[in-house]
Structure 1
Amino acid sequence: MTLLIVLMIIVAYILGSLSGAMIISRIMHFPNPSEHGSHNPGATNILRLNGKLPAIFVLIFDMLKGAIPVYIAYRLDITPFFLGIIGISACLGHIFPCFFRFRGGKGVATALGMMAPIGFDFTGCFILTWLLTLLITGYSSVAAVVGFLMAPFYVWLFKPELTLPVAMLSCLIIVRHNNNIMRLFKGEEPKSYHRSKNKR
């Protein structure tokens, strides 16, 4: 079982390293998202640069690479704690992708995908929190920070055995938003629905 867990952690990291924003941008002949807009290879930057449909593709891609290894591990009867560690590994792959010079995104979509297979209840609470915060503030970064601040509490309510790994994941993603938080304090953070004029 130990070898299986290690193997799944490695597989999760490799899957996480497949950047949806970079791959879809190349397929659809869009500019490199790491060099345009916010320079973040994620769905929000793709939305600003190229519109809704490519952003949806990136969102689904990045969610699946978090969901697939966790679902496989769940079917293999890996314990809940290590399910969380496998999910964190997928998020680390997204944040530090080995295929893209270890320069990745913030990990929000991958983390959401990771949570979905092991708990639709707390995943639903997270999505609702994220959507409400986004609608109220207009900032996806604020929605992500608020959502992941609440995520350990939601997990504790429904599946307390996953509280520690989800809390670890939440800390990782909130730290990844430190630049966004600084820009918010300075009044320089762009709202999510603004399209960038710098496409090329």
Structure 2
Amino acid sequence: MIPDLATPPGMLALWALAGYLLGSVPFGVILSRVFGLGDLRSIGSGNIGATNVLRTGNRTAAALTLILDGGKGAAAVLIARTLAAEDAVQIAGLAAFLGHCFPVWLGFRGGKGVATFLGLLLAYAWPLGLAACATWLVVAATLRFSSLSALIAACLAPVFAALFGLGHAVLMLLALATLIFIRHRGNIERLLKGEEPKIGKK
């Protein structure tokens, strides 16, 4: 189901821009420099997310990156929900995710959006967010692959939404899941070849 379009197109465009700019803040790159870890884009996988920060061995920087990347997705949803209608909430959340993946400040080469995805789900509907986070944690604890955990959580998110009576969010979640799979193309190839590094490996 698609949420009712209650917001004028011009305002939706502004919410999309606001969500994108919020999501595009590259906290992983900023924190890596603050902690003296160097340019995160030249470390490990080159990704700007928390998993790659963890490969530097600095758990504090990785934890902060995880929290802040999730927080910007949550903030986009909560701000839009406070000031606008449901259609703007979904647009702002999607735009924040795109901002993380394609930040203008880094030449549109960003992260894979997993923390931002989980953060916006927690803000959008906390039972949905908790179910997705629990899925990620169980798979990660069992198999130690961050990428596989994200892919499974993304696949199950629309299912969880349907089970929780959030049919209006299914289309948004399918779009997010598709983007997560696209951003994880290389990880999928390495998983199939048995070459994907496990969580915590430098």
TM normalised by structure 1 equals 0.93
Matches for 1:62-141 after TM superposition, within 5 Å:
62-79=69-86, 81-141=87-147
Residue 3 of structure 2 corresponds to none
Q: Secondary structure at the match of 1:34?
A: helix
d(CA) in 2 for partners of 1:41, 1:116: 22
After the TM superposition, which parts of structure 1 deviate over 4 Å for at least 4 consecutive aligned residues? Answer: none
d(CA) in 2 for partners of 1:63, 1:128: 15
Residue 31 of structure 1 corresponds to 38
Instruction: Structure 2 unaligned segments of length 5 or more: list them.
Output: 1-6
* Residue 23 (structure 2) aligned to one of 16, 20, 43: 16
d(CA) in 2 for partners of 1:134, 1:177: 16
* Residue 156 (structure 1) aligned to one of 157, 162, 167: 162
d(CA) in 2 for partners of 1:156, 1:83: 18
Deviation at 1:92, TM superposition (A): 0.6
Residue 143 of structure 1 corresponds to 149
Deviation at 1:4, TM superposition (A): 2.8
Instruction: Give a deviation string over 1:62-87, Cα, whole Å, max 9, x none.
Output: 011111111011112412x4422221
Deviation at 1:138, TM superposition (A): 0.6
Instruction: Give a deviation string over 1:69-119, Cα, whole Å, max 9, x none.
Output: 11011112412x442222111011101000111110000011111111120
Mapped contact 2:112–2:183 kept (Cα < 8 A): yes
Instruction: Give a deviation string over 1:16-57, Cα, whole Å, max 9, x none.
Output: 111111111122221111111111111000011132111011
When the two chains are superposed, the root-mean-square deviation of aligned CA atoms in Å is 1.2
d(CA) in 2 for partners of 1:89, 1:175: 16
Instruction: Give a deviation string over 1:131-184, Cα, whole Å, max 9, x none.
Output: 111111110001000000101111122211111011111110111111001011
Identity score, percent: 38
Residue 192 of structure 1 corresponds to 199
Residue 7 of structure 1 corresponds to 14
Residue 189 of structure 2 corresponds to 182
Instruction: Structure 1 unaligned segments of length 5 or more: list them.
Output: none
Q: Secondary structure at the match of 2:200?
A: coil
Aligned residue type for 1:14: L
d(CA) in 1 for partners of 2:92, 2:174: 14
d(CA) in 1 for partners of 2:92, 2:61: 27
Aligned residues: 194
